[in-house]
């Protein structure tokens, strides 16, 4: 599995907030609503469509490459607790050296199988497990897509702080989410054979594909939760629908690292989302944690649609079993 900044901040946006209208299937745990995330995945199981997610940044290559990505993902519940998501990304690689041609193409297709294993409404806590599969050979090699599969079992969790005492009620809108995954490449190494241009002797160059710990977390403050569950400050409705947040998306090679090294790469992403009744929009900065993660600050933005609110009796309900009863954590809010 190649380690590149293209994996930083592509699939999701993270917040904790309460529903603005009755909802059938969003991840509501007590008074807490966990919508989709940008940098890391959210802990819930939902019917959702993310289209598009766009980002722009300079990679950590030397010299760096200006990369633009456009991606989309659809998530469909099979049962109330189990969902399958399909995602695709198209990359544009523009060399900073004008004499070197760029490259465009799809990254490998990705499928995620996700199962919610635990919910504690009283403490606004939820946990899910999943398996993501990057299907080797489905993308273009000229943009870095690997020719082999990569399998990533992952643990997801979310915790709201609505159970804090009244003395610190202003912290109740705070929530955290996180994920820890272990990416396992389907091939341990790749050897490229060639000819030395000076001596004419055959050469062999072996690249080892490391096993990588993909980890990250989010910290957010939900203005919808503040208004609905703590205090109404009389702010404009546009402000009451905002969720300021910061998230970290990091990768650490932990095994088979002979050619990759073990340095952690990734980004810290401050940003904000705005939540509507059937969709949300988010934007974040992509701040590299070191030179290997990127050479300047990038940006990522996403439009995310709630299929279970848009069509609750059709595409927005589980394929098997009935949808959950309408959730009204605030008596109809």
Residue 145 counted as domain residue = yes
DSSP secondary structure letter of residue 226: I
Q: What is the pLDDT of residue 26?
A: 55
Domain containing residue 205: 5-310
- Count of domains observed in the chain: 1
pLDDT the model gives residue 61: 81
Residue 215 covered by a domain: yes
Residue 224 within any structural domain of the chain: yes
Residue 244's DSSP bridge partners are 272
Query: Would you say residue 318 lies in a domain?
Result: no
pLDDT score, position 12: 30
* Pair of tokens at residue 211: 């096993």
Per-residue pLDDT of the chain (333 residues; tens, 9 = 90+): 333 333 333 233 222 223 333 333 357 788 888 877 799 999 989 899 998 999 999 988 878 889 999 999 999 999 999 999 999 999 999 877 666 677 899 999 999 999 999 999 999 999 999 999 999 999 999 999 999 999 999 999 999 999 999 999 999 999 999 999 999 999 999 988 888 787 778 888 899 999 999 999 999 999 999 999 999 999 999 999 999 999 999 999 999 999 889 999 999 999 999 989 899 999 999 999 999 999 899 999 999 999 988 888 888 889 997 655 444 433 333
Q: Before 225, cis peptide (omega within 30)?
A: no
Provide the total of helices (H) and of strands (E) in the chain, helices listed first. 3, 17
pLDDT of residue 25: 38
* Within-domain flag for 31: yes
Alpha carbon separation from 157 to 133, 203, 215, 326 (Å, rounded): 20, 48, 12, 23
Strand-pair partners of 280: 275, 304
The CATH number of residue 269's host domain is: 2.40.160.40
pLDDT of residue 99: 61
119 lies in some domain: yes
Rounded CA gap, 116 and 119, in Å? 8
Task: Give the contacts of 92 (CB within 8 A, at least 6 positions apart).
Answer: 67, 68, 69, 102, 104
Q: What is the mean pLDDT of the chain?
A: 86
109 secondary structure, DSSP code: P
Q: What is the pTM of this model?
A: 0.86
Is 274 domain-assigned?
yes
**Does residue 193 lie in a domain region?**
yes
């Amino acid at each position: 599995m190649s380690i590149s900044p293209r994996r930083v901040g592509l699939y999701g946006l993270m917040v904790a907030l309460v529903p603005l209208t009755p909802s059938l299937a969003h991840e509501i745990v007590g008074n807490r609503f966990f919508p989709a995330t940008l940098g890391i995945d959210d802990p819930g199981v939902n019917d959702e469509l993310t289209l598009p997610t766009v980002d722009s940044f300079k990679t950590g290559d030397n010299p760096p490459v200006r990369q633009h990505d456009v991606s989309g993902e659809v998530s469909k519940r099979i049962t109330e607790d189990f969902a399958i998501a399909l995602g695709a990304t198209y990359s544009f690689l523009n060399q900073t050296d004008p004499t070197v041609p760029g490259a465009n193409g799809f990254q490998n297709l990705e499928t995620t199988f996700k199962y919610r294993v635990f919910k504690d409404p009283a403490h606004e806590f939820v946990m899910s497990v999943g398996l993501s599969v990057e299907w080797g050979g489905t993308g273009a090699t000229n943009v870095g897509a690997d020719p082999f599969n990569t399998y990533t079992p992952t643990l997801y969790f979310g915790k709201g702080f609505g159970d804090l005492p009244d003395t610190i009620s202003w912290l109740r809108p705070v929530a955290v989410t996180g994920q820890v995954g272990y990416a396992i490449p389907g091939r341990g190494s790749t050897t490229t054979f060639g000819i030395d241009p000076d001596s004419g002797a055959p050469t062999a160059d072996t690249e080892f594909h490391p096993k990588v710990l993909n980890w990250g977390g989010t910290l957010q403050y939900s203005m919808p939760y503040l208004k609905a569950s703590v205090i109404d400050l009389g702010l404009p409705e546009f402000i009451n629908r905002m969720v300021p947040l910061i998230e970290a998306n990091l990768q650490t090679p932990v095994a088979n690292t002979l050619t990759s090294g073990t340095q952690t790469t990734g980004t810290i992403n401050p940003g904000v989302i705005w939540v509507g009744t059937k969709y949300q929009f988010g934007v974040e900065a992509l701040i590299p944690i070191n030179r290997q993660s990127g050479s300047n600050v990038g940006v990522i933005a996403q439009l995310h649609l709630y299929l279970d609110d848009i069509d609750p009796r059709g595409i927005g309900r589980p394929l098997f079993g009935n949808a959950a009863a309408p959730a009204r954590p605030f008596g109809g809010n």
